[in-house]
């Protein structure tokens, strides 16, 4: 039995007995057409997430039981995370899917370098937090240019000049 020398809450749970091989984890790629790459757009709680694929289609993703509990620290899903999900093709509702793998930032870089994967929209959504669709700007976020004049030392106020803000489009 592992002796808890440090103390604290659940110190024995963090021991090496559940770590497995402890080696480098392999990059998990999609094996068939029911496995797709998505990005998290909303967190519902209780292991449920709203995700968007590369084409802009939304799915409801469920975190599986083996990724919860002690394995949660290795499979932490947050907003704008890139995931590999498996579609539930046997159900009538095709918008539900299960999370198979959680990619960290190093894995996202490795995925973006693969030439046969077209993940441009997902990578853009992951980094810029906006989804740009070439056919429709429904998900696009436009940030106006704001000029700040800091060279004017006549008074201590900062003058902000809004040049490209159109409030009808907001």
Q: What one-character-per-residue DSSP string does 55-123 give?
A: TS-EEEEE--GGGSGGGGGGS---TT-EEEEEE-TTSS-TTEEEEEEEE-HHHHHHHHT-TT---HHHH
Model pLDDT for residues 62-109, shown as the tens digit of each residue: 998 888 877 777 789 999 999 999 998 887 778 999 999 999 989 999
Give the range among 51-55, 85-89, 141-145 with minimum mean pLDDT. 141-145
- Token pair for residue 105? 């930032």
Q: 């968007």: which residue's tokens?
A: 52
- The whole-model pTM stands at 0.66
Q: Residue 144: what pLDDT?
A: 44
Kindly report the length of the chain.
Answer: 170
The pLDDT > 90 percentage for the chain reads 36
Query: Please, which pLDDT band fits residue 142 given cuts at 50, 70 and 90?
Result: very low
Query: Please, which pLDDT band fits residue 19 given cuts at 50, 70 and 90?
Result: low
CB atoms within 10 A of CB 92: 5
Question: Distance between CA 132 and CA 140 in Å, rounded?
Answer: 5
Query: Please, which pLDDT band fits residue 14 given cuts at 50, 70 and 90?
Result: low
Q: Residue 87: what pLDDT?
A: 94
Domains and CATH numbers, the chain: 33-128 (2.40.50.140)
How confident is the prediction for the chain on average, in pLDDT? 77
* CA geometry: angle 78, 83, 89, nearest 5 deg: 125
Q: How far is CA 54 from CA 36, 39, 50, 156, in A?
A: 9, 8, 14, 48
Find the helix or strand (DSSP H, E) in which 162 lies. Answer: strand 159-162
């Amino acid at each position: 039995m592992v002796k808890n020398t440090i103390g604290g809450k659940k110190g024995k749970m963090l021991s090496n007995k559940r770590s497995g091989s402890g080696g480098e984890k392999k990059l998990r790629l999609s094996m068939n057409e029911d496995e797709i790459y998505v990005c998290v757009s909303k967190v519902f709680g209780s292991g449920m997430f709203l995700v968007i694929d590369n084409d802009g289609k939304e799915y409801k993703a469920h975190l599986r039981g083996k990724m919860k509990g002690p394995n949660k620290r290795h499979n932490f899903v947050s907003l704008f995370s890139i995931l590999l999900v498996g579609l539930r093709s046997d159900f009538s509702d095709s918008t539900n899917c299960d999370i198979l793998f959680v990619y960290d930032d190093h894995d996202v870089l490795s995925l973006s370098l693969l030439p046969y994967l077209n993940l441009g929209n997902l990578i853009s959504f992951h980094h810029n937090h906006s989804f740009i669709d070439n056919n429709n700007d429904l998900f696009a976020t436009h940030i106006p240019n704001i000029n700040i004049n800091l060279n004017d030392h006549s008074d201590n106020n900062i003058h902000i000049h809004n040049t490209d803000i159109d409030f009808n489009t907001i």
